[in-house]
Amino acid sequence: MPDSSTAPCLVWFRQDLRIHDNPALQAAIERGGPIVPVFICDEKGEGQWSFGGATKWWLYHALKDLADQLADYDLRLIIRRGQTGAELKQLLQDTRADAVYWNRRYEPDVIKRDTQIKETLTADGFEVESFNASLLFEPWKIKNQSGKPFQVFTPYWKHCLKQDIVPPVSVDHRQARPLSEQPASLELDELELLPTIKWDSGFYDFWTPTSTAARQRLGKLAASGASGYVSDRDRPDMDGTSRLSPYLHFGQIGPREVFAAFDKHDSTGVKGGKKFLSEVGWREFSHHLMFHFPHTPTDALRPEFNHFPWEMDEQLLRAWQKGETGYPIVDAGMRQLWATGWMHNRVRMIVASILVKHLLIPWQEGARWFWDTLVDADLANNTQGWQWSAGCGADAAPYFRVFNPILQGQKFDPNGDYVREWVPELRLVETKVIHEPWEAGFDQLNRVVIGRDYPAPIVDHKRGRNRALQAYEKLKALRSK
């Protein structure tokens, strides 16, 4: 085996698709030997959570962006497809490398796979090192006073803020040495990540999936101290959120960079900055929960909810998925999701509430739909969000808290602009009735006929709320037996 000071090192990219603040890449550069950047498409290795359709779209463009970044330093991204362990072994042989470095992931199935790969390669005499690039804190390092994982966000985040936050890693790209003889690589298009039916056409107007775009958006947000974040973040009719979630998921920007940007502008303590950074804290908390409770992507954290009296109905589920529930704020959100691969966070809570409470459809069905349609589909965040809405997770909203989709629309989309953008059937409806058009007179509807041009509500709000509460009472009765 070649001397480690001159032997090549594989840098296995996954959800860290950036060349800045990348500890695995910097550690490989510091070894002194040539660098072999590699991405392996191994959907079976993702377990039951292989890439969804929308995330494949983002992954394609993020990989293209990463390849361009690496090319600036004469490094070629090697793309392979197959079983990860076998492909890494083959690349080690092809390049005569003696080490593999990567940045850690925290999904349960991926942890099992990575552990096996590390054990196998180490036993074969290779150096294997993993690093933290995607979280502020390793989940196993944050514990409550009893030495157990936190299950409530506020004390968790207060504890985290008392810890030192490691600054972003400085990567000395100029010292990176390319490999003189490149191994075989697939072309990016051979991964077939983009859809053959162009349902993704609206994505291109809504997103620029590059690391540069992420840093530019973060820079503007931090420079302003996220001044409008507190007042506007719940308004889907405004551009009041960061829209950094897909960039964070794919690692085109890291949370340490987020904190560093706000530190640079002395805006970590201002009202907007503090609130925005707490949302980054929710992302950390979600990964903390998934690591310590690995069953949660499929089963409720609170085990009693595994016996909840759901009433699965495929027809109602399909209406919800297509944005045809008859509740304008819900339908606007679901159509925004399909068109752009993203949905405003306030609306995510509203559409989740109506699915699991008004319709009594299991939260797992909603989580699966989001997984396939969100460009920012992150297993930890998606799981925590749905369990929060269903009242069955950590720090969750009580199940008896049922959002009123009419009042939610009136409060957070007061002029109906969001509804009009995504539900064109209702563009001419008067503002004062746009969130409950079935109650409007013919003149207020401007010739829109409910039941013909736009559906009537698939469930009456009061009836749906009462049914949800009755189901919760049944669950409590089961628990008392």
Catalytic site positions: 279, 282, 310, 345, 363, 386
Report the DSSP pairing between strands 99-103 and 78-81: unpaired
Any idea which residue has 């090697």 for tokens? Answer: 78
Q: What is the DSSP string of 328-376?
A: HHHHHHHHHHHHHS---HHHHHHHHHIIIIIS---HHHHHHHHHHH-TT
3-state SS assignment for residue 417: helix
Contact 339, 322 (CB under 8 A): no
Give the integer Cα–Cα distance in Å for 11 and 100.
6
Count Cβ atoms below 10 Å from residue 21 Cβ, excluding itself: 21
Both tokens of 65, joined, read: 């962006």
Both tokens of 123, joined, read: 């036993």
Both tokens of 245, joined, read: 């979630």
From the list 288, 310, 409, the residue with the least C-alpha distance to 366 is 310
Give the integer Cα–Cα distance in Å for 300 and 303.
6
Give the integer Cα–Cα distance in Å for 446 and 454.
13
Any idea which residue has 């810890």 for tokens? Answer: 163
Count Cβ atoms below 10 Å from residue 263 Cβ, excluding itself: 14
From the list 156, 191, 241, the residue with the least C-alpha distance to 67 is 191
Both tokens of 67, joined, read: 């390849």
Q: What is the DSSP string of 47-71?
A: TT-PPPHHHHHHHHHHHHHHHHHHH
| 447 Ramachandran zone, left/alpha/beta (phi>0; psi -120 to 50) | left
Count Cβ atoms below 10 Å from residue 426 Cβ, excluding itself: 23
Tell me the CA distances in angstroms from 312 to 204, 321, 357, 409, one per residue in order. 35, 14, 12, 26
- DSSP-assigned beta bridge partners for residue 189: none
From the list 8, 63, 70, the residue with the least C-alpha distance to 40 is 63
